[in-house]
Structure 1
Amino acid sequence: MNNLPKLQIALDDQMLSEAIKTMQLVYKEIDIIEIGTILCCSEGMSTVKNLKAMYPDKIILADIKIADAGEILSKMVFDAGADWTTVICCAPIDTVKAALKEAKKRNKDIQIELTGSWTFEQAKQWKEVGVEQVVYHRGRDAQAAGQTWDVHDLNNIERLINMGFKVSVTGGITVKDLKLFKDMAINIFIAGRSIRDSKDPLEAAKEFKTAIKKYWG
């Protein structure tokens, strides 16, 4: 069904070879391949080129969290074959506009990565300049400190959806977490370690897809 949330895998490996091993196992269950910030920094744009060549039918997201030089950096990832890229929420609005303009010229897209501090006043600005996608992110360090999904998160996500954004949800997401969001029109669930580090990554991906169909089918 078209209204089912998509499943995105976050490849936050430090080596392309490790990312490829995971993808060879799970690609049939994955809608979007995220080349994570860690992998982009470690292996560079060759990672984007290689994974797009290997999986041309998948959406490739280069998660570089643009903070400045929006036109230059977005050109870089799009030239390498990325379909989407991310702009960090603290980036100036002119950076957002520059990255979005470059994306639209190529029939590609950007996402605003909501990592760290941001406001709904900023969200209003993003909407006004034409941003369609945001990523609600519970950070890796916050997870390590024991932060869990709570009413504050759910209310924020619902408010973003009501503003008209397509919302991706990420941050240590597990299959058990999905039911927390079952009454929301989530666009994408992003899973990384819960699939990559599983004893059986393919089965883990299938479990996500089964749960998504259960709650949104």
Structure 2
Amino acid sequence: MTQPQLQVALDQLALAEALQSLTLLAPHIDIIEAGTLLCCSVGMQAVRTLREAYPQHTLVADLKAADAGETMTRLAMDAGADWTTVICAAPLATIEKAHETAEEYGGEIQIELFGHWTLNDARDWQRIGIRQAIYHRGRDAQAKGQGWSATDLDLLRALADIGIAPSVTGGLDAQDLALFKGIPVRAFIAGRALYGAPEPAAAAQAFRQQIRQYWGQ
């Protein structure tokens, strides 16, 4: 089983704050995400700046597109993103257009699993070429104290069986990773647990240690 990667979600509103976070975190992570809030705040300048500063990292533009799949994907990819996101509620035609456009750039589309979706939806996504999805608890769910359930874990396994590699996010800390042992997670995504930690590099190393422990070297 491939070892999961570690992704930081930069959801600050100020680009300078996001860049400051990366000065300590970048050596310890695999994937940099220009978060939805950051992209809404400063636009594709966030993606362009991150691409220029960190050319070796995989870069995600978390746009959560719901329509205009081609245009949204081109905006992200032209700015330097490797991957960008489409919300699961988007019409299949939008997802397919986004995927086709991403392929022109050698990039990928990730489906954001917010709200209602089914495994039949996932099969449709896989059929048109989608290979990644992001499974998470939103901030509102976290605020209500909703933890990771057996249903969550079963759905992650089902996605992997369909052929869609799931990434996991939503209030994760390093100790949560043990819950996902045995599941072929594409990446673990954390935001404030990394850049908001007293020692961000140490926080990233704690995630790394858990990944090594449960998925091997």
Give identity over the alignment, percent.
Answer: 47
Partner of 1:53: 52
Partner of 2:215: 216
Partner of 2:141: 142
Tell me the number of residue pairs that the alignment of Structure 1 and Structure 2 aligns.
216
What do the CA deviations read for 1:129-163 (whole angstroms, capped 9, x no partner)?
A: 01000111111111011110010101111111111
1:126 deviates by 0.3
Partner of 1:86: 85
1:192 deviates by 0.8
Question: Which aligned pairs between 1:12-23 and structure 2 lie closer than 5 A?
Answer: 12-23=11-22
- CA RMSD, Structure 1 to Structure 2 (Å): 0.8
Partner of 1:171: 170
What is the CA–CA distance in structure 2 between the aligned matches of 1:124 and 1:166, rounded to whole Å?
Answer: 12
Does the alignment pair 1:184 with 2:152?
no
What is the CA–CA distance in structure 1 between the aligned matches of 2:136 and 2:214, rounded to whole Å?
Answer: 21
1:4 deviates by 0.9
Q: What is the SS of the residue equivalent to 2:7?
A: strand
8 Å Cα contact 2:25/2:195 also seen in 1? no
TM-score for the superposition, normalised by structure 2: 0.98
Query: Which stretch has the larger CA shift, 85-94 or 181-190?
Result: 181-190
What is the CA–CA distance in structure 2 between the aligned matches of 1:87 and 1:115, rounded to whole Å?
Answer: 10
Question: Which aligned pairs between 1:148-163 and structure 2 lie closer than 5 A?
Answer: 148-163=147-162
Equivalent AA in structure 2 for residue 92 of structure 1: P
TM-score for the superposition, normalised by structure 1: 0.98
Structure 1 runs of 4+ with >3 Å offset: none
What is the CA–CA distance in structure 2 between the aligned matches of 1:128 and 1:46, rounded to whole Å?
Answer: 33
What is the CA–CA distance in structure 2 between the aligned matches of 1:53 and 1:92, rounded to whole Å?
Answer: 33
Does the alignment pair 1:97 with 2:121?
no
Structure 2 gaps, min length 5: none
What is the CA–CA distance in structure 1 between the aligned matches of 2:102 and 2:45, rounded to whole Å?
Answer: 20
1:87 deviates by 0.3
Partner of 1:110: 109
1:81 deviates by 0.6
What is the CA–CA distance in structure 2 between the aligned matches of 1:99 and 1:16, rounded to whole Å?
Answer: 26
Structure 1 gaps, min length 5: none
What is the CA–CA distance in structure 2 between the aligned matches of 1:174 and 1:182, rounded to whole Å?
Answer: 15
